[in-house]
Structure 1
Amino acid sequence: MAISSQANVHPSAVIDDGAEIGAGVYVGPFCVVGPKVVLAPNVTLKSHVVVAGDTEIGEDTVVFPFSVIGEIPQDLKFKGEETRLVIGKRNRIREHVTMNTGTDGGGGVTKVGDDCLFMAGCHIAHDAQIGDRVVIVNSVAVAGHCIIEDDVIIGGLSGIHQFVRIGKGAIIGALSMVTNDVIPHGLVQGPRGKLDGLNLVGLKRRGVSRSDITALRAAFQMMAQGEGAFQERAQRMGEEFDSAYVQEIVEFVLGNTDRSFLTPG
């Protein structure tokens, strides 16, 4: 066990031999920290938090009560192989959140970026890859092998099907079931989520220029109403528009995927 002399560990907490606890870490009442856990400097476990498995939590991350971080995957194929969970810096993990380690079949690592907010009761399954500045609202379920890129917002009580990719800057409305890939900056809503437009509010909040937003709107119309297959329309978009934001969509659509796409209605 390596506990920094500058860490603050409540007497009721249980920390297994082998755990690494950095300077400025606070481990609150009734927390349990496993033998392969690494808590970087200034991590806070408020109370009643379980951190298990081969799990690393980055600097300044705060984990709220009754969260379970780093337990084994909810996958019947899992046979106890050594897999990991890596969480970045400055995340806020609210009450009752669960995050699982990876599986051999999915690359072995579940990964969370920096500056994310995971609201109460949401679940991050095995081998998911979560980008930076992602907001996942209450009771969202992100299934195994999903890729959630930077600046995505997923509304409450939504479900993300396994292997789905959600592109940078997209927004998913509450109560949506997302079964196919979502283009960058897309807007999805509905019980069986449909691509209803662009995340214009998010683009404006991030200070995207008017010319880029205009290009995105024109490109979206081409995707919705142009001739040929979806990928063919995306290819033409890449040839017609110079906007970096449009090119993000083109690269996403033409990239590797295990799912089909949500397309404009």
Structure 2
Amino acid sequence: MNGIELNDADLAAELAYAAGQLLLNVRASGLVTGKALGKAGDATANQFLVHALREQRRQDGLLSEEEKDNFARLDQSRVWIIDPVDGTREYGEARADWAVHIGLAVDGVPVLGAVALPGADNGQGMVYRSDAPIALPPAPETLRMVVSRTRPAAEAVFVAEQLGAQLVPMGSAGAKAMAIIRGEADIYLHSGGQYEWDSCAPVAVALAHGLHCSRIDGSPLIYNQRDTYLPDLLICRPEHAEQVLTLIRQAGTSIPKNKRG
């Protein structure tokens, strides 16, 4: 940032990129591995991002997965919502499907975001920005739905079966959302539990790219709440949204309660 005052979009992108490079350097050191690497990465990136945001945007609120919550944010219109490492397991396993999330909510609305995928594209990485949307590739004949690597939600499996969609296991929520923008997937349906930092930045970027983003009942995603639990999410191309939401409602009556996400 070099003493230059950045606008919000440039600040988010610069922070996401810098944190991603920091995380790659921590991993490349080889001094910690596995779960310890995940913890080290979380702590290192969080410290950098929190200090930078408090320096650059002193008047704004801040919510981070790795920081003790300060409820003073509830009285602030502008709140930065960050996840220093989204997909800690994938980061620790030296996979590519992890992300850095920098989001800004204004009066509860995710107005701006940057999502870095530092390990993607053979380590070249990419930062996806809400202020710089790119053209989306056309949807294929057979749709693809990104789901959890370890516990795909029953609702997602049901909807995929009804659509004849291919399931694509993937790690981080940010990586899943960006997979639609990257042309690697068409639908991201999650019902297994998340928090505001998991989706704020990806949703801001997805909305800027013209994608549908909502709760799985079709209601809007609202941020900077006292309870930061935001358990479900749908991101997809707008032409698929109505059909997917209808199928989700059908899933609610077709799947036993103990099998749902």
- Where is the helix percentage greater, Structure 1 or Structure 2? 2
With normalisation by structure 2, the TM-score equals 0.29
Pair member with larger Rg: 1
TM-score scaled to structure 1, two decimals? 0.28
**Larger fraction in strand:** 1
